[in-house]
Amino acid sequence: MLFRSYLTDFKTIDDSEIEKVVGVDTLVIEALRIHPHPSHLSLDEALLLIERIKPRVALLTHISHKLGKHLEIKNRTPKNVRAGYDNEVIYVNEA
């Protein structure tokens, strides 16, 4: 079974909550912008969590224009991380 996790609209998360999603197949996580924000994750903060969670693939969401264009994001992230896009559909199989 493939597991997916959606983590958005937060700045901090307890280690116990991260443990629940370690190794998910697909992680959707916010990365608002390059520079720190008081209530949302920056790209670097999102990448640190992605490194801890170790998903097969991570999709960045809640992206502001201050993060850059998709190609710029691709050049700043590991191969398993990419920017999501408007109207993207991710199919979830229910078991």
The full DSSP string for 12-65 is: ---HHHHHHHTT-SEEEEE--BSS--SSS-BHHHHHHHHHHH--SEEEEES--T
Does position 59 have pLDDT exceeding 80, yes or no? yes
The H or E element that residue 59 is part of is: strand 57-61
3-class SS of residue 69: coil
Average pLDDT over the chain, rounded to whole?
A: 91
Contacts of 75 (CB under 8 A, 6+ apart): none
What does the pLDDT read at residue 25? 93
What does the pLDDT read at residue 71? 81
| Residue whose token pair is 């998903």 | 55
What does the pLDDT read at residue 2? 66
